[in-house]
Chain A
Amino acid sequence: MVATERTIADDVSLVSPGAAGVVAAPRMRVGSLDAWFGRVHAVKGVHMDVRDREVTAIIGPSGCGKSTFLRCLNRMHETVPTARVEGEVELDGRDIYARGVNAIAVRRHIGMVFQRPTPFPTMSIRDNVAAGLRVVDGPSPSRARTDEIVERALSRAALWDEVKDRLSASATSLSGGQQQRLCIARALATDPTVLLLDEPTASLDPLSTQAVEELVYELRRDMTIVIVTHNMQQAARVSDSTAFFLDGELVEIDDTNRIFTTPRDQRTEAYITGRFG
């Protein structure tokens, strides 16, 4: 039942480098990652490769540590008081937790979009998209260059046609789905290599959800995406590989097709067939 909905992913697996037989180096590599909130051990010894230019979905019941894991990938976890991380997360072979690596610089390379749309309410649509450009290293881009980047980011986020005539309007005047795509555009403007999506459609209606999913499908052509989702159908629709988390541990990760048809672990099977979670 789930597998029949996998049209988009089936289609794209033909062009994605991993499935075409070329084994590309993983974009990110996670080695024995542990994360805590105070004394709560939220992520336990996770090893995982995130393949380049693919969508990796992370599924699992509430409280399984999947969002915490995602937030470890761009060093957002440590912004919470009492939070702690141990282990390695490599981006293109470099450990982002190594001594001397600046967390802020890491976040500029790994974009993130959250569960609820978070446009900056005091800024216009244009300024929202350009917000990340103000903190890039070196001189800020010129006005004309900024306009170019804004247009490109909004086009990539499939929002340009809807907002091009009101770029100076308040970002809060957009609908929820548009706001979420605006947040994706904002993350894209600084040209990150990896995009992390933390349940990006959890607060959206079905049509906006579809728009965001199509967007994810388009974006995988030139970037690596990790998406946390509560919705197994969504994971099946948009992802190339799927990771199943339970109680802070990575139970298994495999091609999405295989996870949803012939999972190796019984717990995965129990979860995707709806026996718990």
Chain B
Amino acid sequence: MSTAIPPLSPPLRPTLRQRAFSERTQRTLRRRRVVNGIMLGVFVVAAVVAVLPLIFIFVHLIRLGVGSLSWDFFTKMPTPVGEAGGGLANAIVGTLILIGVASAVGLPVGVGSGLYLAERKGASLANGVRFLSDVLNGLPSIVMGIFAWQFLVRPVGHFSALAGGVALGAMMIPMVARTTEEMVGVVPVALREAALALGYPRWRTSLSIVLRTASAGIVTGALVAIARIAGETAPLLFTAFGNQFWSLSLRQPIAALPLQIFSYAISPYDAWHSLAWAGALVLIALIFIISLIARIATRARFSAGGGD
């Protein structure tokens, strides 16, 4: 529908009041620009300061650790004091095993409870669980270690990889639960309704439509959680304990990178110190890679769902 364009009125001269108003506007505009510039600068500095520690740590680790990195580091066992060479093969494998156990515990429980929290938003049990899982998220990790020690080490009588993995898994649960809840929450109601209208029972709608649609985001959250727990030391101190020897058994103490770094770092030997630096570098690289995968997974989600 087009309406006729009204005729242009002749240009009006601004009145005195209008001119004063305009001058005032000009002045405030200048002031706003200056304030804007200052605030922008402050926030840029804050943003840079936020990542500065990571950059320092990275540079420092590379400087001190890269010299000890070699093929042996990844394939050889630790050597006794005074013997040159050796590596952290058992600790690297141990950390991977611990991550595996932690994921086996943390992912199903975390995803399940996150799905419950999202699907039963207003229920009082859901509100309670949500609150407690936030508390759990803030729980010091050493407390989680004590919990695992109490229930999985003390009754058995010895440290084990299983206890360490469970302690780490328990830490993952609240993180995974909250990401799952958020990701399931953003699945459009329309998709849920479409499935229900097709004759999907509610539980199947949740599992095969809602959870599947949210899966990319949940995978990202799970990877972030894994990256967080991969470097945890405190919960492992009295659960997995560490091991100088090669062990793949879940029922025996197992070596882990953070533990090995800890024990090498507090030792008085220079050779072990540099191994600790190298171990820290490998650990941070592992976390870096996991985060990178998480990033790529997120991006894949947005490009796949980018139709709308």
Contacts and interface: CB of A to CB of B under 8 A. Distances in A.
A118 B201 contact: no
Interface string A91-107: 00000000000001101
Contacts of B306: 172
Which of under 10, 10 to 19, 20 to 34, or 35 or more describes the interface residues of A?
20 to 34
A79 B193 contact: yes
A132 B199 contact: yes
A187 B198 contact: yes
Contact of B199 (A107, A114, A122, A173): A107
Contacts of B62: none
B193 A118 contact: yes
Contacts of A74: 197
A22 to B, nearest CB: 32
A231 interface: no
B307 interface: yes
A121 B213 contact: yes
B125 interface: no
Which of under 10, 10 to 19, 20 to 34, or 35 or more describes the interface residues of B?
20 to 34
Contacts of B213: 120-122
B200 interface: yes
A80 B251 CA distance: 49
B193 A104 contact: no
Contacts of A131: 195, 198
Given A104-B201, A186-B198, A120 B304 contact: no
Contact of B197 (A105, A111, A170, A179): A111
B191 A135 contact: no
Contact of A108 (B188, B195, B199): B199
Contacts of B191: 118, 120-121
22 contacts: A79-B196, A104-B199, A107-B196, A107-B197, A107-B198, A111-B197, A111-B198, A114-B193, A118-B191, A118-B194, A120-B191, A120-B195, A121-B305, A122-B212, A131-B195, A132-B198, A135-B198, A135-B200, A172-B305, A172-B307, A190-B198, A190-B199
Interface of B: 122, 188, 190-191, 193-201, 204, 208-209, 212-213, 215, 304-308
